[in-house]
Structure 1
Amino acid sequence: MDKIGKRIQSYREKQNLTIEDLAARTGLTENFIHAVEEDDMYPSLQPLVKLARALGVRLGTFLDDQVSSDPLITRLADREEEIIMHPDGKEAGLKFHSLGKGKTDRHMEPFFIELLPESAKDGHLSSHEGEEFIVVHSGKLRVIYGKEESVLEPGDSIYFNSVVPHNVACAGDEKAEIYAVLYFPE
């Protein structure tokens, strides 16, 4: 299976776009796009969303390597880490496991996400079109939404419009695990 960065590169090349072209379309730096394509490096979902939009594909397109029929069942034992995000560029802070991989006609992106304590180092607020729904499975989750900050515990959930600047991170010294469903309008 190709890494996500290689898939992004493939879509870029199919459209005869240079890294410079893609940087201009997304507002991301050429160095950053190169790191994504070559090193599979992601600091947050926001740049992946920008890359998907600039290439005219869904975010899930970067995750899909096979087509399934309905219903799509993802067994716990078959869950694979798809995206590792490094908030400080060094230590992994978030580990995303796609729960929709293979359902090519989906409109939502469901994930199981492990948030390590390092995720709290990045207080950068991001925003993008769409909505997010999160349920805390274990640990504590810090959510900054606009000027409000909340700490959620196991069983708590939050549903918000993601156009409002927000940050989701681990709260405390133990990792947090969440289920998140992201919706990105076409």
Structure 2
Amino acid sequence: MDKAYKEIAPRLRALREAVGMSVEEMARAAEIDADEVRRFESGQHEIPVSFLFKAAKACGVDTTELISGAGAHLRSYSVVRKGEGLAVERRATYDYKSLAYRFAGRKMEPFLVTVPPKEPGELDFNAHSGQEFIHVMEGRLELTLGDSVLVLEPGDSLYFDSHVRHALRGLDGKPARFIDVII
């Protein structure tokens, strides 16, 4: 998906307006500034999944509706086979695949993420509301979390507060692949 947030932004605004919610009310529900909501709705800025999750919850819809334009319908369970995750462009240099996009009423957002190797000066920092759980499957992952630099090996896990500024990169000239659960 090329610049998926350009497609998501009008759905976000239309949904907010359809439920009669002001920009300020959405900002309070998502625990962010109203100007940030306006930026996300403009289609000119990346939209964090944590915001989409809170916006969908505030509007009483499933996050899949904002991401894909179609609703999730499964309520008892949802199987996503290898290679079938819904591609979500969150960060231009990361590959995100939603692993629960078919399940309605999710309370978390699990992703399969691949992060390429980068030089330390090329890091793409992010901070957003919520919490995250990362479990490394392949490669070595460097995660800069605030002032700390952590190196995670396959089998290692990390749970952290997403409000803390963070950036990721694969090490040893290879991508790192991990499960990322955002709440």
Distance 1:60 1:179 in 2: 18
The alpha-carbon deviation at position 8 of structure 1 amounts to: 1.6
Distance 1:32 1:15 in 2: 18
Distance 1:30 1:71 in 2: 35
AA partner of residue 80 (structure 1): L
* Pick aligned residue for 1:67 from 53, 68, 73: 73
Structure 1 partner of 2:145: 145
Structure 2 partner of 1:100: 100
TM-score using structure 2 length: 0.71
Which range is displaced more, 112-121 or 173-182? 112-121
The alpha-carbon deviation at position 150 of structure 1 amounts to: 0.5
Residues 1:124 and 2:125 aligned together: yes
* Pick aligned residue for 1:27 from 23, 32, 35: 35
Structure 1 partner of 2:16: 12
67 and 27 in structure 1: CA distance in 2 versus 1, 3 angstrom threshold: same
Map 1:146-185; keep pairs closer than 5 Å.
Answer: 146-163=146-163, 165-172=164-171, 173-183=173-183
Cα root mean square deviation, aligned? 3.4
Kept in 1: contact 2:139–2:174 (CA 8 A)? yes
Structure 2 partner of 1:89: none
Kept in 1: contact 2:86–2:99 (CA 8 A)? no
Which range is displaced more, 17-26 or 111-120? 17-26
21 and 134 in structure 1: CA distance in 2 versus 1, 3 angstrom threshold: closer
The alpha-carbon deviation at position 145 of structure 1 amounts to: 2.4
Structure 2 partner of 1:83: 89
119 and 51 in structure 1: CA distance in 2 versus 1, 3 angstrom threshold: farther
| Cα-to-partner distance string for 1:92-150 (whole Å, 9 max, x where unaligned) | 21121111112112211111012123596235351423x21111122221112232110
Task: List gaps (5 residues or longer) in structure 1.
Answer: 86-91
117 and 9 in structure 1: CA distance in 2 versus 1, 3 angstrom threshold: farther
Aligned residues: 167
Kept in 2: contact 1:134–1:181 (CA 8 A)? yes
72 and 116 in structure 1: CA distance in 2 versus 1, 3 angstrom threshold: same
TM-score using structure 1 length: 0.70
